[in-house]
Amino acid sequence: MKIQCPYKCDGDGCTKQKGEGNKWLLLVPDGLCFVARPWDQELVDIDERRPEWPENSIKHYCGIGCLSKALSAWQAKHGASPVEEAKA
């Protein structure tokens, strides 16, 4: 049996693993911002090939709940909303 590389949700405290047909979300770092986008296997594969930049790696989320929690944590850490950062 072929074992697919299981992706785990990067959500805080979330233990979900991605199944074949699950529609997950990605948070892609883009400078000071993040871009939320639907799962893109090609993008994920490219990201896995550059482990030398862990802080810039793409985050995988099982749904909007985990993704929005991550954005809240990011905002709390940086003390500014992503919108305000983008205007700077």
Candidates 6-14, 17-25, 39-47, 77-85; binding stretch for Zn ion (CB under 5 A): 6-14
Identify whether the C-beta of residue 48 lies closer than 8 Å to the C-beta of residue 60. no
* Interaction of residue 67 with Zn ion, rule CB under 5 A: no
* Interaction of residue 26 with Zn ion, rule CB under 5 A: no
Report DSSP state, residue 12: T
Start-end of H helices in 5-48: 41-48
Using the rule CB under 5 A, which residue among 7, 9, 60, 70 binds Zn ion? Answer: 9
Candidates 30-38, 41-49, 60-68, 78-86; binding stretch for Zn ion (CB under 5 A): 60-68
Sign of CA dihedral 52, 57, 60, 66: positive
Q: What residue ranges bind Zn ion (CB under 5 A)? A: 9, 11, 14, 16, 62, 66
